[in-house]
Amino acid sequence: QVQLVESGGGLVQPGGSLRLSCAASGSIFSTNNMGWYRQAPGKEHQWVASDIRGGNTYYSDSVKGRFTFSRDNARNTVFLQMDSLTVEGTAVYYCNTAGVTLTWGRGTQVTVSS
C-alpha cells in the first residue's frame, strides 16, 4: 500500500507564499499523472492542479497563474508552489494520482489569515 505524506503547510498572511511537498513510499510518480487537491472545512475534496507525468500541467481557474505544480521523480516527491495566497486558499491540501486511486494521506493544513 503506497503511502502519501504531505508537508509544508502553515499559517501565512494573504499575499504570502508556501511550498507544499508530497512524498510517496513507493516509486509511483514516474508512472502516474499526479494531482494536488484541497478540502476546506465542511466541503469535499477539490481538485487544484495536476500534471501529465511531469509534462503539461493543469490548474483550476481559482489558482491559475498563482500556483505551480512540479515533481522530482527521483525523490518520489511532487511539489505545489503557492504564491499570492488568498483566504479562500485555507484548506487541508493533499496529493494523489490524477484519478484519485490511492488512499488519502493526512494532508497538510494551510491557513491564510491576517
CA atoms within 13 Å, Cβ hemisphere of 56: 2
- Mean pLDDT estimate for the chain: 94
Per-residue pLDDT at 70: 95
Per-residue pLDDT tens digits for 1-55: 889 999 999 999 999 999 999 999 878 887 889 999 999 999 999 999 999 987 8
In this predicted structure, the answer to whether residue 68 has a pLDDT above a threshold of 90 is yes
pLDDT average, residue stretch 93-102:
92
pLDDT average, residue stretch 52-76:
93
Q: What are residue 68's DSSP bridge partners?
A: 81
79, 21 Cβ separation under 8 angstroms: yes
The DSSP letter of residue 104 is -
